Amino acid sequence: MRVLVTGGMGYIGSHTCIALHDAGITPVIYDNLSNASAQVLDQLEKITGTRFEFILGDIQDEQQFKLALKHTKAEAVFHFAALKAVGESTEQPLRYYQNNVSGTLSMLQSMQEADVNHIIFSSSATVYGEPDYLPIDEKHPIRATNPYGWTKVMVEQAMQDVCNANSQFMGIALRYFNPVGAHPSGLLGESPNGIPNNLMPFIAQTAVGKREVVNIFGDDYDTEDGTGMRDYIHVLDLAKGHVAAFMQHKTDTAFHAYNLGTGQSYSVLDMIKAFSASANKDIPYKSAPRRAGDIACNYADATKAKNTLNWHAELTLSDMTNDTWRWQTNYPRGLES
Ligand code: NAD
Ligand code: WQD
């Protein structure tokens, strides 16, 4: 079986291509390389022994996307392609709505015309906004707090409506908590452009000497040590979650949403400490003001995924930091762009 993977050259999409390949499913990558290196294909080949088919294309190009569906005879779409920087989305909201929402709407249109009726979408725990309760289950109210988050809410709603209108259609929204880690081979990982927004790449770049000090955004939260707590999940576990969700629902219809998290949260200080152990060195850090829009704590109730998909996160915090450190030391400047 062949599936089209939009954004398959990116961080989570590329790891999911490996998991699909391992499950006997052939991924065909569709990516505009706006936030990825073409060298990812070489890395995927080194890891899997297979050169994946790659189509350079934009999801906003309805005609090209439809041709890609037909040409590849894809039976499903794994949809990772999106812009993902929260801060940037508040500065350039229309760019985010255009790329993430309009792009997905034209994909859904092309899929219906090409009679490809299965989509697995990268959603985010950001759709829950400031949590009413913890752990967060899938019944928690949906309310984003920034344009990026709204793009996820809007796409989920559009998928749900298409599923309601088209009895052949099946959509799965996977709400990721905080993806981290890298492939254990050290050949593939996350390499953000410029100064990383997210904690783990910032710690990794500080450990390797690229940044001077980790700024801890707030040390007076109502948490165990005063710093923000999150449910970090290894990208390999996340990738397996996609395969499990697809295998479970590939013959049915309707819309499904799942949290993909570990159910456990770690503080910023926990993360720095764990990374120091992996890198075997002290990592300098200092307190800084809270970051606007940040919440104190979140973590998933991932029971639904466990019971329905027979999936749960298996890798530990030290797997996350060890694998990130291996990748960071192998490729301190990321792959060639
Ligand atoms: P990424 O930037 O590494 O990957 C996204 C890929 O999509 C890139 O390769 C980029 O070139 C491609 N792309 C972007 N716009 C495109 C377009 N219009 N047409 C074709 N390709 C396009 O990001 P990631 O971290 O791998 O995230 C993958 C998905 O998961 C995104 O939808 C993101 O919003 C979602 N997500 C990410 C996180 C996270 O913390 N990384 C958390 C929750 C959800
Ligand atoms: C984690 C913790 C920070 C950087 C974001 C998006 C979310 C999702 C995942 C896509 C927080 C603290 C961070 C730093 C710090 N993406 N921190 N110093 O904010 O939970 O989620 O990425 O869907 O939508 O909002 O992740 O890694 O940025 O922050 O102290 O330099 O680390 O305050 O407590 P976040 P993060």
119 within ligand 1 shell (Cβ under 6 A): no
For residue 210, give Cα distances in angstroms to 202, 216, 311: 9, 17, 37
Q: Could you tell me if the CB of 31 is within 6 A of ligand 1?
A: yes
Residue recorded with tokens 């984003």: 144
Alpha carbon of 228 to ligand 2 centroid (Å): 9
Which pLDDT belongs to residue 337?
A: 54
Q: Tokens 């499913």 belong to which residue?
A: 25
Model pTM above 0.85? yes
User: Within a 10 A sphere around the Cβ of 235, how many other Cβ atoms?
Assistant: 26
Looking at the DSSP bridge assignments, the partners of residue 216 are 287
Instruction: Write down the residue that tokens 């037909």 correspond to.
Output: 70
Catalytic residue among 96, 128, 148, 176, which? 148
pLDDT tens per residue across all 337 residues of the chain: 999 999 999 999 999 999 999 999 999 999 999 999 999 999 999 999 999 999 999 999 999 999 999 999 999 999 999 999 999 999 999 999 999 999 999 999 999 999 999 999 999 999 999 999 999 999 999 999 999 999 999 999 999 999 999 999 999 999 999 999 999 999 999 988 889 999 999 999 999 999 999 999 999 999 999 999 999 999 999 999 999 999 999 999 999 999 999 999 999 999 999 999 999 999 999 999 999 999 999 999 999 999 999 999 999 999 999 999 999 999 999 997 5
**Total domains, the chain:** 1
Burial (0-12, 13-18, 19+ Cβ within 10 Å), 194: exposed
In a domain, 294, yes or no: no
Question: Does the annotation count 232 as an active-site position?
Answer: no
Distance from CA of residue 56 to its chain's centroid?
Answer: 20
Q: Look at residue 194 and tell me if it is in a domain.
A: no
- Alpha-carbon span 132 to 108, nearest angstrom: 32
The full 3-state SS of 45-75, as one line of letters, equals HHHHCCCCEEEECCCCCHHHHHHHHHHHCCC
Any domain includes 121: yes
How confident is the prediction for the chain on average, in pLDDT? 97
Can you give the pLDDT at residue 74?
97
- What is the CATH classification number for the domain harbouring 168? 3.40.50.720
Please check whether residue 220 lies inside any domain of the structure.
Answer: no
Distance CA 218, CA 207 (A): 21
Q: Ligand 1, atom 1: nearest CA belongs to which residue?
A: 10
Residue ID of nearest Cα to ligand 1 atom 39:
179
Kindly state whether residue 273 falls inside one of the protein's structural domains.
Answer: no
pLDDT digits over 169-226, tens only?
999 999 999 999 999 999 999 988 889 999 999 999 999 999 999 999 999 999 999 9
- The residue segments making up the domain with residue 104 are 2-181+232-263+299-315
Residue 240 inside a domain? The answer is: yes
